Amino acid sequence: MAEFETLTLTTDPRGVAFLTLNRPERHNALDAVLIAELSRAAAQLGADPAVRVVVLTGAGKSFCAGGDIGWFRDTLALDRAGRVAQSAELGQMLAALAHLPKPLIGRIQGPAYGGGIGMIAVCDVAIGAAEARFGLTEVWLGLIPANISPHVIARIGTARARATMLSGALFDAAHAERIGLLDRAVPTADLDAAVEAVVSAHLEAAPAAVTATKLLIRDVAAAPAEGHVALTSERLADAWESPEGRAGIDAFLARRTPPWRSGA
């Protein structure tokens, strides 16, 4: 895999990729380079058939401190068209991670603010350190959590988005778990074991079926209710007719382990 300036990307023999924000001296804050490299990494991971699960984490004490101060200074120098274009790059990166055709597991080892909350929200599962703190702090700067809002609202709901976005107040990991930003908050010493348990569970699932299910969730959420029966009936027929569907059902009927599972 290609080298990155602001990321590290490794893949283990099981097909688990570890995507690490690697600007610890800047608390993994987002700048133009990191945003562009995350978009490139998402495309690379999505296209790699050897990758089955992606773990997103940060180097150092922080997961992601939001926007980098240098990036803010650069934005001040832009005209309106430039600001819109720069904002769109952030939005496109978040969408690329959200739509990654593999499970994206967040290993949230430290604090996250602003755009860092958006990085958590695009994960399919997020496990966080109980000692971490969080905040949607854009309003403290007179700004708004614009690009991250579709993902944060989808994850925690409209009412909880209002309760967190409007004040910018910081909150702890227990609260992040209660509102659904984190799926679990665990002591830092237990974080790797908790993430590994999630990864191991995902490795038992058929890769193409996982991709199809992730797309199904997105499409059902966006479709009008009257279209759900037709949509889901077609998708299930597709699954029955897929190579994985045939192999999985054959294995089930023969009481064999399907080829994608660890016991095969």
Burial (CB < 10 A; 0-12, 13-18, 19+), residue 84, is: exposed
Residue 76's pLDDT band, with cuts at 50, 70 and 90, is confident
Give the per-residue pLDDT at 1.
Answer: 44
Amino acid in position 73: R
Q: What is the pLDDT of residue 2?
A: 52
Helices (H), the chain: 32-47, 69-76, 80-98, 115-121, 149-156, 158-165, 173-178, 191-202, 207-222, 228-241, 243-254
Q: What is the pLDDT of residues 228-238, one digit of tens each?
A: 999 999 999 99
Confidence of residue 72 (pLDDT cuts 50, 70, 90): confident
Is the pTM above the cut of 0.85?
Answer: yes
pLDDT of 214 reads 97
Query: Across the chain, what does the average pLDDT equal?
Result: 96
